[in-house]
Amino acid sequence: MEPGNQTGISEFILLGLSEEVLLQPLLFWIFLFMYLVTFIGNLLIILAIITDSHLHTPMYFFLFNLSFSDMCFTSTTIPKMLWNIQTQSQVITYEGCIVQMYFFMLFGILDNILLTVMAYDRFAAICHPLQYMIIMNPRFCGFLLLTSWLVSVLDSLLHGLMILRLSFCTKLEIHHFFCELYEVVQLACSDTFLNDLMIYFASGVLVIVPFTGILFSYSKIVSSILKISSTRGKYKAFSTCLSHLSTVSLFYGTSLGVYLSSASTQNSRVTAVASVMYTVVTPMLNPFIYSLKNKDIKQALKTLFSREMFSV
């Protein structure tokens, strides 16, 4: 079919991770398992924080929101992928694609900003322990959360509105398992200069600024920890950051891996497979990181399960 200008399109084709028919049942069960683990794991973290009054602190307030964001992040892509595999359909409507793109970007950006806010929280707790509760007061925590949501919503909305101005060709195949912004823009027949400029500018600002904030916070944290005289004190201070540091490393490490794989190859399918790491694997592992490395969360989960057992 020859490419042509078509403004009134109704659907896109998601080619997924593989077109091999024999692989589809395997992919379905693997991704269903990962989605359920992600959803249940993050839900348990949320319930543990809600039910345990000892976890009603700024650190766990932001962890609560990070777990909620991770649940929503995976829910924007995986259920649709599973539905397409089950129904043997690769179609997503134009409206569905725009909505999926919007919420995928929203919760992806929100994850990134929340990790930066959590780094600042650890900076305040370790570098200014006596003023911690004054600095991280409920009003300021609410302000940080509201700002995180506003930035995420506005950036996603701007990208979404800029997509609406594009006209698309008749070749509407997306070499991915969801409507990824850059892949959709590449299908346009109209001029995409402004879209490309916005993608690079927003990506630069919303990656470099938060990452710089995290590096600054941890440079101050390390400096403060090194000033502690006792080894026990150093370990105790560092252990409060270990879960967050692991999550940050996983988030940025997988994102960097996807960027490098897309830069080194023109094969969109390879990039799609690599993107599974940050779209599915990272949100799935976050609950394990916080439950295995955090005594408070482990205790809260034990209490939660014991309550459920006694109630039954």
* DSSP string across 76-138: TTHHHHHHHHHHT--EEEHHHHHHHHHHHHHHHHHHHHHHHHHHHHHHHHHHSGGGHHHHT-H
Whether 7 shows a pLDDT value over 70: the answer reads no
Q: What's the rounded mean pLDDT across residues 201-219?
A: 93
Biggest CA–CA distance in the chain, Å, is 72
Q: What is the pLDDT at residue 203?
A: 87
Q: What is the pLDDT at residue 266?
A: 65
Q: Does residue 126 sit within a domain?
A: yes
Q: Does residue 288 sit within a domain?
A: yes
Q: What is the pLDDT at residue 273?
A: 79
Share of residues in the chain with pLDDT > 90 (%)? 63
Q: What's the rounded mean pLDDT across residues 194-218?
A: 93
Q: How far is CA 23 from CA 7, 15, 50, 113, 272, in A?
A: 35, 13, 40, 36, 16
Measured in whole angstroms, the distance separating CA 150 from the mean position of its chain's CA atoms is 16
Q: What is the pLDDT at residue 290?
A: 87
243-289 pLDDT, tens per residue? 899 999 999 888 887 777 666 666 677 778 778 888 899 999 999 99
pTM across the whole model: 0.92
Q: What is the pLDDT at residue 291?
A: 83
Contact 95, 30 (CB under 8 A): no
Task: Give residue 235's identity as a one-letter amino acid code.
Answer: Y
Q: Does residue 4 sit within a domain?
A: no
Q: What is the CA radius of gyration of the chain?
A: 21
Closest CA to 14 of 174, 182, 183: 174
Whether 174 shows a pLDDT value over 60: the answer reads yes
Q: Side-chain half-sphere of 13: how many Cα atoms within 13 Å?
A: 8
Which residues of 202-268 form beta strands (DSSP E)?
none
Q: Binning pLDDT at 50, 70 and 90, where does residue 228 land?
A: confident
124-169 pLDDT, tens per residue? 999 999 999 999 999 999 999 999 999 999 999 999 999 999 998 7
CATH of the domain at 35: 1.20.1070.10
Q: Does residue 187 sit within a domain?
A: yes
Position with higher pLDDT, 2 vs 109 = 109
Q: Side-chain half-sphere of 266: how many Cα atoms within 13 Å?
A: 1
With H, G, I as helix, E, B as strand and everything else as coil, classify residue 264: helix
- Distance from C-alpha of 253 to C-alpha of 262, rounded to nearest angstrom: 14
Show the domain range for 273: 11-293
Q: Does residue 73 sit within a domain?
A: yes
- Average pLDDT of the chain is 89
Q: Does residue 90 sit within a domain?
A: yes
Q: Binning pLDDT at 50, 70 and 90, where does residue 4 land?
A: very low
How many domains are there within the chain? 1
Helix and strand numbers, DSSP H then E, in the chain: 12, 3
Q: Does residue 212 sit within a domain?
A: yes
Which distant-in-sequence residues (6+ apart) come within 8 Å of 275 by Cβ? 176, 180, 258
- Distance from C-alpha of 120 to C-alpha of 25, rounded to nearest angstrom: 44
Q: What is the pLDDT at residue 32?
A: 97
Q: What's the rounded mean pLDDT across residues 38-55?
A: 94
Q: Does residue 109 sit within a domain?
A: yes
- The strand pairing partners of 91, in sequence order, are 13
Contact 252, 3 (CB under 8 A): no
Q: What is the pLDDT at residue 110?
A: 97
